[in-house]
Structure 1
Amino acid sequence: MSRQRSMEAILASEHVSIGELVRITGSRYSTLKHYTEEGMLPFEQAEENLTRRYKREETVARIIWIKELKASGLSIPQIKEAIDAL
């Protein structure tokens, strides 16, 4: 397994991994994986490398928004509707 990047390197990077998103947002890995599988978090995936790459700024903002919507009582299907309306 490779060594983790420093938080400074993560915050300077345009793209991050799901594990780095966990560190940045304080979210659970399983939660972010679920959001990805539900199509709520867009990602890029290079064919030669199966690692999903997320645009850091855009994805962190979306995770914060999803957390706010969940805190206001919306369900995952309702949040997906809000995301699809963008």
Structure 2
Amino acid sequence: MSRQRKIEVIKQSEYVTIGELVRLTDVRYSTLKHYTEEGLIPFDQSESNLTRRYKREESLERINEIRELRKQKKSVPEIKKLLLDD
């Protein structure tokens, strides 16, 4: 298992892993994985090792949007419709 990057490095990185998004947002890994699988959080995937990489700023904005919609009691299908039909 590789060593974790320091949070200062993560906050300056263009791309982060899902584990690093967990550290930045305090959102559970399983929740972020579900949002990713639902197409709510876009990612790039490396061909060589199949690692998903998330654009840090874009992902943080999207997670905050999802959080706000969840506070409004929106379901994941409703959120998908709102965010992906733009």
Q: Deviations over 1:9-35 (max 9, x none)?
A: 000100000000000000000000000
Structure 2: runs of 5 or more not aligned: none
- TM-score after normalising by structure 2: 0.97
When the two chains are superposed, the root-mean-square deviation of aligned CA atoms in Å is 0.6
- With the length of structure 1 as denominator, give the TM-score of the two structures: 0.97
* CA drift at 1:85: 2.0
Question: How far, CA to CA, are the matches of 2:34 and 2:4 in structure 1?
Answer: 23
Structure 2 CA distance for aligned equivalents of residues 55 and 49 of structure 1: 18
1:6 aligns with 2:6: yes
- 1:5 Cα deviation (Å)? 0.2
Distance (whole Å) between structure 2 residues aligned to residue 49 and residue 23 of structure 1: 22
Q: Secondary structure at the match of 2:54?
A: strand
Gaps spanning 5+ residues in structure 1: where?
A: none
Counterparts of 1:18 and 1:46 in 2: how far apart (Å)?
14
Tell me, yes or no, if structure 1 residue 64 matches structure 2 residue 74.
Answer: no
Distance in 1 (CA, whole Å) between partners of 2:27 and 2:17 is: 13
Runs of 4+ displaced beyond 2 Å: none
CA-CA distance at 1:79 after TM superposition: 0.1
Distance 1:3 1:77 in 2: 36
1:76 aligns with 2:76: yes
Distance 1:46 1:79 in 2: 28
